[in-house]
Amino acid sequence: MTGNAMLAQIHSLPALIREVLPLYDRNAREALDDDLCCSARRLFIAGCGDSHHAALASELAFESLAGLPTEPMTALQMSRYAVDFLPQTESGANILIGISVSGEASRTVEAMLRARRVGAATIALTGTPASRIALAGDRLLLMTTPPFDFAPGVRSYVATLLMLYLAAARMGEARGQLPPSQAADVRREFTATADAIERTIAQCEEPTRKLAADWKDASEFVFTGGGPNFGTALFSAAKIVEASGDSALGQDTEEWAHLQYFCRAVPTPTFIITAADRDLSRAVEVAVAATTIGRRVVIVAPKDVPVGHVSNVTYIPFAPVREVFSPLVACIPGMLFAAHRAELIGEPFFRAFGGGRDVAGGGGISRIRTSEMIE
């Protein structure tokens, strides 16, 4: 292990899950009572950055485990547009989960306050109990994590995913969608993801380090994913931006074929992330198309998935888990690649907050935490 704080965070993830899982499960059970869960008719999940990516990655869990129509969206979309058109139903039928690890992202706080004002039940998912978002929520899903060295968000993202999945399981149980025995099985799956992440790190450490060296010349990267792993693609691209400062794009797998196919930069490294389930056939087609036009392609997929017939690609495996929970593990290769690339090219994380980039106000001139809020 080097002094790379991002790599240290990645390696800490299995221990983190084992440590916080019982507490997070208890918090979800206490915050999400039967009345709230059973009265829900529609769920919205809003956040910014990694929090939005986690929302996208959890949609399938809420719909399949809780039987609840779910719409993840950016905090700006929720606060400035969607809130004004929420379906007029009985109190508590609309639920908004607002996600902010710091609890101080102005746009997400604004979404919570405005949704609450029009009768939606609001749930704050945060790691900071005395924050603005915690105060704006009717209920609190608290996901505190033990402190660690500062680096692009790794532990916070996995913790957010874990809490969202536990919330989905709790709601499914309360709504009668998950019989108690199945709910217990689901919670055991969460415990097993710690082992899956551990195996994935061991499998991917050296391949991603080598890939970073082989592709040192690149200056832009594309990540694609489908279903819950569209969120993984966005998150992986975000880690490149934060870690090494390179241009990176996250895109839905289907959308790649409609747009990226025509880009001028032929050899752009392209990561195709698949859980080898509903999206597999399209992911393979896109991989073939990408290699045909000269892209340097990586397929990120569960170990032993039969993708060997796709020629001229690099295969980076992750330990198999059910598609619905695969974002917990599928994000590991992208994290590792970003951490290794930043170290290889000597780029400080977050561009060392130079220029207008400043920790103050949650981003300096970008005013993440001090942005004007609409009441």
CB burial of residue 263 (10 Å; 0-12, 13-18, 19+) = middle
Show the tokens assigned to 210: 């080598």
Q: Are residues 157 and 303 in the same domain?
A: no
Asked which of 155-164, 305-314, 349-358 is least confident by mean pLDDT, the reply is 305-314
Query: Residue written as tokens 């997400």?
Result: 108
Average confidence (pLDDT) over 301-316: 83
How far is the C-alpha of 145 from the C-alpha of 332, rounded, in Å? 19
Given 171, 193, 215, the domain boundary residue is 193
Q: Are residues 236 and 335 in the same domain?
A: yes
Residue 367 lies in a domain: no
- Residues counted in the chain: 375
Looking at residue 311, its pLDDT comes to 83
| Residue 234: C-alpha distances to residues 46, 180, 222, 285 (Å) | 15, 34, 9, 20
Q: Are residues 189 and 162 in the same domain?
A: yes
Looking at residue 314, its pLDDT comes to 93
Residue ranges making up the domain that contains 74: 5-193
Angle at alpha carbon of residue 32, lines to 27 and 37, rounded to 5°: 155
Q: What is the 3-state secondary structure (H, E, C) of the chain?
A: CCCCHHHHHHHCHHHHHHHHHHHHHHHHHHHCCHHHHHHCCEEEEEECCHHHHHHHHHHHHHHHHCCCCEEEEEHHHHHHCHHHHCCCCCCCCEEEEEECCCCCCHHHHHHHHHHHHCCCEEEEEECCCCCHHHHHCCEEEECCCCCCCCCCCCHHHHHHHHHHHHHHHHHHHHCCCCCHHHHHHHHHHHHHHHHHHHHHHHHHHHHHHHHHHHCCCCCEEEEEECCCHHHHHHHHHHHHHHHHCCEEEEEEHHHHHHCHHHCCCCCCCEEEECCCCCCHHHHHHHHHHHHHCCCCEEEEEECCCCCCCCCCEEEEEECCCCHHHCHHHHHHHHHHHHHHHHHHHCCCHHHHHCCCCCCHHHCHHHCCCCCCCCC
pLDDT, one tens digit per residue, over 165-196 is 999 999 999 999 999 999 999 999 999 999 99
Residue 175 lies in a domain: yes
Q: Are residues 180 and 216 in the same domain?
A: no
Residue 363 lies in a domain: no
pLDDT, one tens digit per residue, over 141-153 is 999 998 888 899 9
Looking at residue 310, its pLDDT comes to 80
Q: Are residues 127 and 276 in the same domain?
A: no
* Model confidence band, residue 308 (pLDDT cutoffs 50, 70, 90): low
Residue 277 lies in a domain: yes
Average pLDDT taken over every residue of the chain = 94
Bigger pLDDT: 327 vs 357? 327
Asked which of 188-197, 248-257, 287-296, 304-313 is least confident by mean pLDDT, the reply is 304-313
Q: Are residues 153 and 34 in the same domain?
A: yes
Looking at residue 90, its pLDDT comes to 66
Q: Are residues 263 and 306 in the same domain?
A: yes
Residue 374 lies in a domain: no
Q: 165: which residues sit within 8 A by CB, 6+ positions away?
A: 58, 61, 190, 325, 328
Looking at residue 369, its pLDDT comes to 92
Bigger pLDDT: 310 vs 350? 350
Q: Are residues 215 and 147 in the same domain?
A: no
Residue 371 lies in a domain: no
Question: What is the pTM (predicted TM-score) of this model?
Answer: 0.96
Looking at residue 1, its pLDDT comes to 45
Q: Are residues 117 and 218 in the same domain?
A: no
Whether pLDDT at 89 is above 70: no
Given 152, 171, 193, the domain boundary residue is 193
Q: 246: left (phi > 0), else alpha (psi -120 to 50), else beta?
A: beta
Q: 192: which residues sit within 8 A by CB, 6+ positions away?
A: 321
CATH of the domain at 89: 3.40.50.10490
Q: Are residues 208 and 246 in the same domain?
A: yes
The strand pairing partners of 71, in sequence order, are 44
Looking at residue 307, its pLDDT comes to 66
Average confidence (pLDDT) over 88-100: 85
Asked which of 221-235, 326-340, 347-361 is least confident by mean pLDDT, the reply is 347-361
How far is the C-alpha of 160 from the C-alpha of 125, rounded, in Å? 8
Task: Find the distance separating the first CA and the last CA of the chain, reported in whole Å.
Answer: 48
Average confidence (pLDDT) over 239-250: 97
pLDDT, one tens digit per residue, over 21-31 is 999 999 999 99
Residue 161 lies in a domain: yes
Asked which of 62-66, 194-198, 260-264 is least confident by mean pLDDT, the reply is 260-264
